Structure 1
Amino acid sequence: MIGQLIDGRYQIVRNLDAGGFAKTFIAEDSRRPGRPQCVVKRLEPSQTDAHTLEVSRRLFQREAEVLERLGHHPQIPRLLANFEENQEFYLVEELIIGHPLTQEIVTGQPISEGQVIGILIEILDILVFVHGQGVIHRDIKPSNIIRQHSDGRLFLIDFGAVKEVTTQIGGVYAGGSPTVVGTQGYMPLEQFHGHPRFNSDLYALGVIAIQALTGLPANDISTLRDPYNPDRTAIVWHHRVPQVNPRLANIIDRLVVFDCTQRYQSATDVLNDLRNSIYQPLVEPTIFTPQIQLLESPQKNKLGLILAGIGGSMALLAVMGLGGNYYLQQKSLTQAKKSYYQGLEKVLQQDYKGAILNLDEALKINPKYGQAYYQRCLANYYQNNELKAIEDCTQAINYLPKKYNSVGIYLKVDEKTKALITNGVQNDSPAVKESIKEGDKILEIDGKSTDNLSLGEAEDLLRGGEVGSSVKLKIASVDGSTRELTLKRENLTNDEFDLAYDFRGLSRYYTQDYQGAIADFDEAIRLAPIYFKYYYNRGLARSKQGDKSGAIKDFDKSIEINANYEPAYSERGLIHQLLGQSEPAVKDFDRAIELEPNNAITYYNRGNSYISLGNKEAGIEDYTKAIELDPKYTNAYLFRCTERSNLSQHQAALADCNQVIELDPNFPEGYVGRGLVYQNQGDNQKAIADYTQAIKLDPQNERAYYNRGIVRRLLADTQGAIADYTKAIEIDPNDPFPYHGRGLIYSDSGNRQQAIEDLQKASQLYLQAGRRSGYNNALAAIAKLEKQPATTGN
């Protein structure tokens, strides 16, 4: 086949794949300049009678039409041609130069949550289009996802529809049965039985996410399934990644539910949850990054981190990327500058993939273009490609100048009016002295109307002179007045330089290089010691590294500089809470709520602190407020359920835990909470049923085993209780409670020596944990046993 010319045009140069009734090749298109390569797929009917060929031809044409429609998406290979030759059917598709995700998702090498989220979002965006065309892919797996080398975009290839046609053409008419399309390990149950749905593709994507986070090979993912109830439950994997963001984990869980009616129903639903849920973690700190597209007022952009407009010069340099004066001395724009400004405008529009293409071009022409590296760093960062962002920010630091000549005005194009407006001004600049404000419209620069000026041309006019040279402006202020000003250019600090350190620090943070992140934040602070958010970011990195006192000091400094920065209070409160310092935690949450009264998470966290202080009523009130703000806040319902049960408000508690289960029937803690309510009511059988369900959903749920052991002891099920306590100890050998419980049941059964050993172990662990009451109770039980004569239990 190598060297053969097909359709008088496509010359085969290499075999790619062969199997069943189809073969795939790399070919050169001999009719196009440069003979570009493409992918050729040959489908071979097993029989060549007239009827089979006619049916095959009809099926082939139908699927070619499907691929033609799909190819209109920029991340799906285009169908270039389809034809029949010598009673064989051919598809010619665009060749994507890149590598499959099998080179990124490698056994034994888990990747970061940020990378996984990036993959999920990019593939989900493609699936929204694919499913909108009425097509199910049916074979989503890492080898069918290609990362294009030129720009890092992901492409979805090898649609199962073609495989189905291949099977029908080659198999059905040979007297066989249709073969199920898909790959074992990535197929949900309904697809395995030949009834794929749109959310069958979502299941496969969830498996890929688990594979990437755990580092397990695909064939081992199935071993994480619950052996007790394979028809209903999902894959059990949280224990493999104990630090996983709980909201990301919940989203992935809903992707891999076995029952397709309980799984996410659309890719759009998953995207909405990713954007609206995971980016508000329950207890994980939220890290600040400068907002790329500054709006009229700061806002929160939920990307797993809080994005807010930065007041003054810092934010605007992050957006406009000013500096590099020695690149901008020419009067006319060079091609590198044109590409740079095209990329910059796309960054402002949040078209990060398009921006990277333009910035790549700029850097090919000028490989020392510091501004282009900086903007590409931002684009890669916001695509969750932290490693590339680190590389680009490092190059930006190498090539960005520390000073540049300007009047301190930053520009953008208003999205609605397309007018050139100020995006803010730099601190201590000529623009500040003349009271130029964000949102002022620039009508003229040195007598030239801005109506026909591009963003780059306008920037050049502002920065195109020496220190002390003048620039004349005509401005329409936001208050409606028009005025003319003459400003003199000054040699200003390039704040973009410290922002490059900040973004590199953020990227290192998300690759869990906390020491490297701290070093970068240190440098950013050295360059801009009055910038409160750099201290905030360093505080988060220090907290992750375990330096809680250092983190608190950084949050203190951030608040000292900006007493109205709500995230610093929230994060400091969380650390106080983790350290058991509930009173200062409540004070911090109070201030955070004063500054941002509609954040459900802050009420939830303050509620937890109130509970730690013994103020259950206040805690329940805060959980209630959190639920009012977010009616789907499962943890708020769960904790309110627990505390209401502790106050003997069993019916209200039961309603809360039922709501948790209704919102997320695969959340094991919902069953644990409801089981505790039943236990407190004395309904032991229902309690055991709920604890058992929790264990089926999560076989590593230590609390469920422990609680079930308590109930079994009450029901005189000695062996069952001992088995549950033993399993709880196996899961968490540092928890004193299961030792204490097992020691008591050994005591009940007359096994004095084993009881004393367990109670001694419990007392040691109570003491280490500072639980004085439990310690004293364990010692009292030991003393009572030591007074008894030694006997041997069953």
Structure 2
Amino acid sequence: MNSHLLDARYRILAVLSAEELTQTYLVEDFHLPESQFVLKQLHPANKNPQDLNILRRLFTGEAETLEKLTQGHNQIQKLIAYFEENEEFYLVQEFIPGTPLTEEIFLGTPLEEEQVIHLLLELLEILAFIHSYEVIHQDIKPSNIIRRESDNKLILIDFGTIREIVTTTVGNLEYIPIEQLQGDTQYNSDIYALGIIAIAALLGLTVNEITILLSNKNILTGEIVWRNNMPQINQELAKIIDKMVRFDYRKRYHSANDVIDDLKQINNHDDEPEKQKPKTQKPWLILTGIASCITLGVAAWFFLMPKPVGDAKLLYLQGVDKYEKGDYQGAIKDFNQALEINPKDAKAYNARGDAFYQLKDYQKAQLDASKAIQFNSKDANAYYDRGFSHYQLGKYKEAIADYTKAIQLNAKNPYAYYGRGLAHVELKDPQKAMADFNKAIALQPNYSGAYLQRGILHRRLGKTQAAIQDFDTVIEMNPLDAQAFLQRGLTQFANNDRESALKDYNSAIELNPKYIEAYLNRGDIYSELGKNLEATEDYNKALELDSKSFIAYIHRGMHRFSLGNYQGAIADYNEAIKLNPKNGTAYNNRGNAHLESGNKKAAIADYTKAIAVRPNYALAYYNRGLVRVKNGDKKGAIADFQQAAKIFKQRGQTSSYKDAQKEIKNLQN
């Protein structure tokens, strides 16, 4: 029919349907003669280049998810391929010979209750599988359910997620609940649509009559009035269907499995022989008795209808685009406007929270993630995001709780294990941290960040060879990773391999000429090797890159101290203390410099200040004890050495503990 090949392989055989923004064709694959597929062509509603870039990313992301999902269940239409051509988006789907459900339930004749229950159970089982993958179909309707010719099973086709992204159109309004029209789609929005199909089947509606059905709403509650003239219906089944189609999604069934459980109970308790159900009349043809319920029903429904969702969705997409370009403030403005239109949009809260996180406003990021969770408690990503906000706020226990919840919802997300591992490190729980990093790597063997953090943890645990192996793996994956070279250099230094450490620091600096930490650590090796000029150059370079780096002043002060330049060292420690008045190391080191300069009084004052800002600073107690010995304060010295010994012992610093004990013994003798 058409000689042009789409994607250089698909030839159109027939037009299956044609709408304004969507065309569906029967096609064959030129490379697979006699093959048949369904090809859906989606015309973007907006072809602005900027909007197209956003749609392209969203289209690809959704298609990738659906491609994996549809391969996992035999009763879901498989997504074979997806592509873009001439600014049009295409989906290639499995062709399923069979008949749509419309040919079974819209014949004007009611189905038996057992038939409806069987139909619901079969479709709900498919829905439960889809929802377990955190996907919502969004377009459940009879024409999207096929009775497969080969085995007579029901097959669910044509997910609405991708089509709605590209075309901004929604499916048949008869099957779409209010929250979905407002852009706040829930998992039980699919359950609502299935409930409408069940009502249509039980009442024996025609295609035209289903629209009238939705006009019959209680003006006060918004609930559909449908079973007044069906006195013979099983009341348990009616209650289940009522709960499936509740106006407020919070009062509906929360999961497909819950509906399945209740439907199975009907079969278990139905011991009576099946009765022949009388043919029911359409309730809107007999208005006596229910007129008060449906008066102004149509007006009430339209009054409750939301504003068009296009504006909110476009604002959200614009925000996403700005976020990806690094314009976080602009993204926040767009998300703000989107949330004004739809204050229950969990995705917008989540995205705005991500923007706040990038701006280091972790408190607002945490609040937005909490809002996203409030409106979608099954959003694993929102828990994951809130976990990182809690982590940055120093709330490590709360972070672990969030990562754990994210893992419960999606046990295959390596990043949640990684985040929880980082929090365990902060809480000094290396075993749990190691287990989490191992799990992240098992799930994603090329996760360089997890290897890096595991390597750092290995080094802290004294397992230098295991650490080096992890850093080797990171460097093999990414030879341009300056941080991996630095961390391997630190490990080589801890392993007393100065030459290898120096090479790694050189590599880190070559890859990142502004890497302050690499300059400082290389400077330390140069200082230790007696290369004083090179060491000074590195410390000066670090301060040139960041004149407010208190740690750089401490390193240079230590170098000056080692050269006997005590006044120069004191000057550097003074600068460090100005920049960070709560740094115990700067006070302790300045005390050492004062002591060497002969100022014991200033030395004791500095050691005391170091202990004040860092109460468990064993070395400061030890140093103060030495000065008190020189001052003849035997009692004060013993107290300091005892405190130092206690802390050294707690930290497993055996050699330092023995030194402190030796000083105590000498004083006591």
Match of 1:738 in 2: 620
Equivalent of residue 759 in structure 1, options 641, 644, 649: 641
2:448 alignment partner AA: E
Q: Is the 8 A contact 2:455 2:468 kept in 1?
A: yes
Aligned-pair CA distance for 1:634: 1.7
Equivalent of residue 172 in structure 2, options 291, 315, 330: 330
Aligned-pair CA distance for 1:543: 3.9
Partners in 2 of 1:314 and 1:505 — Cα distance? Answer: 27
Equivalent of residue 580 in structure 2, options 665, 680, 698: 698
Q: Which runs of structure 2 are paired with 1:482-493 in the superposition (5 Å)? A: none
Describe the SS at the equivalent of 2:581. coil
Partners in 2 of 1:703 and 1:767 — Cα distance? Answer: 20
User: Of the two structures, which has the highest relative contact order with CA contacts closer than 8 Å and spacing of 6 or more?
Assistant: 1
Match of 1:389 in 2: 368
After the TM superposition, which of the residue ranges 539-548 and 643-652 deviates more from structure 2?
539-548
**TM-score normalised by the chain length of structure 2:** 0.50
Partners in 1 of 2:402 and 2:445 — Cα distance? Answer: 24
Q: Is the 8 A contact 1:654 1:674 kept in 2?
A: yes
Aligned-pair CA distance for 1:770: 1.6
Partners in 1 of 2:426 and 2:394 — Cα distance? Answer: 9
Match of 2:347 in 1: 374
Aligned-pair CA distance for 1:505: 4.5
Partners in 2 of 1:748 and 1:544 — Cα distance? Answer: 39
Match of 1:776 in 2: 658
Equivalent of residue 750 in structure 1, options 632, 643, 659: 632
Q: Is the 8 A contact 1:603 1:626 kept in 2?
A: yes
Q: Which runs of structure 2 are paired with 1:452-491 in the superposition (5 Å)? A: none
Match of 1:313 in 2: 65
Match of 1:563 in 2: 445
Aligned-pair CA distance for 1:560: 0.9
Partners in 2 of 1:779 and 1:393 — Cα distance? Answer: 57
Equivalent of residue 571 in structure 2, options 689, 699, 713: 689
Match of 1:613 in 2: 495
In terms of Rg, which structure is larger?
2
Describe the SS at the equivalent of 1:597. coil
Describe the SS at the equivalent of 1:329. coil
Give CA deviations for 1:747-787 in whole Å, capped at 9, x if unaligned: 23333333223222222222222222222222223333333
Q: In structure 2, do the counterparts of structure 1 residues 718 and 353 end up closer, same or farther at CA, with 3 Å as the change threshold?
A: closer
Q: In structure 2, do the counterparts of structure 1 residues 663 and 293 end up closer, same or farther at CA, with 3 Å as the change threshold?
A: farther
Q: In structure 2, do the counterparts of structure 1 residues 709 and 380 end up closer, same or farther at CA, with 3 Å as the change threshold?
A: closer
Q: Is the 8 A contact 2:352 2:365 kept in 1?
A: no
Q: Is the 8 A contact 1:394 1:504 kept in 2?
A: no
2:641 alignment partner AA: L
Matched, 1:643 2:525: yes
Describe the SS at the equivalent of 2:308. helix
Q: In structure 2, do the counterparts of structure 1 residues 361 and 388 end up closer, same or farther at CA, with 3 Å as the change threshold?
A: same
Aligned-pair CA distance for 1:556: 0.9
Q: In structure 2, do the counterparts of structure 1 residues 618 and 390 end up closer, same or farther at CA, with 3 Å as the change threshold?
A: same
Q: In structure 2, do the counterparts of structure 1 residues 737 and 521 end up closer, same or farther at CA, with 3 Å as the change threshold?
A: closer
Q: In structure 2, do the counterparts of structure 1 residues 352 and 771 end up closer, same or farther at CA, with 3 Å as the change threshold?
A: same
Q: Which has more strand, going by share of residues? A: 1
Q: Which runs of structure 2 are paired with 1:102-501 in the superposition (5 Å)? A: 312-313=64-65, 323-325=137-139, 328-330=170-172, 335-350=307-322, 352-353=331-332, 355-356=334-335, 359-360=338-339, 363=342, 372-384=345-357, 385-397=364-376, 497-501=379-383
Aligned-pair CA distance for 1:657: 1.2
Match of 2:282 in 1: none
Q: Is the 8 A contact 2:320 2:351 kept in 1?
A: no
Give CA deviations for 1:77-113 in whole Å, capped at 9, x if unaligned: xxxxxxxxxxxxxxxxxxxxxxxxxxxxxxxxxxxxx
For structure 1, the 5+ residue unaligned runs are 1-291, 299-308, 401-496, 788-794
Q: Is the 8 A contact 1:598 1:629 kept in 2?
A: yes
Partners in 1 of 2:650 and 2:593 — Cα distance? Answer: 27
Equivalent of residue 708 in structure 1, options 590, 593, 597: 590
Give CA deviations for 1:313-364 in whole Å, capped at 9, x if unaligned: 29999xx986544694327998534235423432442363454356336537
Q: In structure 2, do the counterparts of structure 1 residues 347 and 546 end up closer, same or farther at CA, with 3 Å as the change threshold?
A: farther
Partners in 2 of 1:700 and 1:762 — Cα distance? Answer: 20
1:330 alignment partner AA: N
Q: In structure 2, do the counterparts of structure 1 residues 636 and 294 end up closer, same or farther at CA, with 3 Å as the change threshold?
A: farther
1:737 alignment partner AA: L
Partners in 2 of 1:661 and 1:512 — Cα distance? Answer: 28
Aligned-pair CA distance for 1:504: 5.0
Partners in 1 of 2:62 and 2:663 — Cα distance? Answer: 60
Match of 2:482 in 1: 600
Give CA deviations for 1:253-306 in whole Å, capped at 9, x if unaligned: xxxxxxxxxxxxxxxxxxxxxxxxxxxxxxxxxxxxxxx99879x9xxxxxxxx
Give CA deviations for 1:453-491 in whole Å, capped at 9, x if unaligned: xxxxxxxxxxxxxxxxxxxxxxxxxxxxxxxxxxxxxxx
1:597 alignment partner AA: P
Q: Is the 8 A contact 1:555 1:569 kept in 2?
A: yes
Match of 1:540 in 2: 422
Q: In structure 2, do the counterparts of structure 1 residues 311 and 718 end up closer, same or farther at CA, with 3 Å as the change threshold?
A: farther
Partners in 1 of 2:476 and 2:521 — Cα distance? Answer: 23
Partners in 2 of 1:650 and 1:712 — Cα distance? Answer: 22
1:753 alignment partner AA: K
Partners in 2 of 1:310 and 1:567 — Cα distance? Answer: 26
2:354 alignment partner AA: Y
Q: In structure 2, do the counterparts of structure 1 residues 331 and 633 end up closer, same or farther at CA, with 3 Å as the change threshold?
A: same
Aligned-pair CA distance for 1:569: 1.0
Aligned-pair CA distance for 1:738: 1.8
After the TM superposition, which of the residue ranges 325-334 and 706-715 deviates more from structure 2?
325-334
Aligned-pair CA distance for 1:697: 3.4
Partners in 2 of 1:597 and 1:325 — Cα distance? Answer: 47
Q: In structure 2, do the counterparts of structure 1 residues 728 and 606 end up closer, same or farther at CA, with 3 Å as the change threshold?
A: same
Partners in 2 of 1:361 and 1:750 — Cα distance? Answer: 73
Describe the SS at the equivalent of 1:733. coil
State percent identity of aligned pairs. Answer: 32
**TM-score normalised by the chain length of structure 1:** 0.43
Partners in 2 of 1:785 and 1:330 — Cα distance? Answer: 91
2:335 alignment partner AA: I
Give CA deviations for 1:17-72 in whole Å, capped at 9, x if unaligned: xxxxxxxxxxxxxxxxxxxxxxxxxxxxxxxxxxxxxxxxxxxxxxxxxxxxxxxx
Q: In structure 2, do the counterparts of structure 1 residues 667 and 396 end up closer, same or farther at CA, with 3 Å as the change threshold?
A: same
Partners in 1 of 2:547 and 2:425 — Cα distance? Answer: 33
Q: Is the 8 A contact 2:369 2:383 kept in 1?
A: no
After the TM superposition, which of the residue ranges 703-712 and 512-521 deviates more from structure 2?
512-521
Partners in 1 of 2:480 and 2:67 — Cα distance? Answer: 25
For structure 2, the 5+ residue unaligned runs are 1-53, 70-133, 141-159, 161-169, 175-180, 182-305, 323-329, 358-363
Q: Is the 8 A contact 1:729 1:735 kept in 2?
A: yes
Q: Which runs of structure 2 are paired with 1:63-102 in the superposition (5 Å)? A: none
Q: In structure 2, do the counterparts of structure 1 residues 311 and 645 end up closer, same or farther at CA, with 3 Å as the change threshold?
A: farther
Equivalent of residue 631 in structure 1, options 494, 507, 513: 513
Q: Is the 8 A contact 2:335 2:351 kept in 1?
A: no
Q: Is the 8 A contact 2:388 2:399 kept in 1?
A: yes
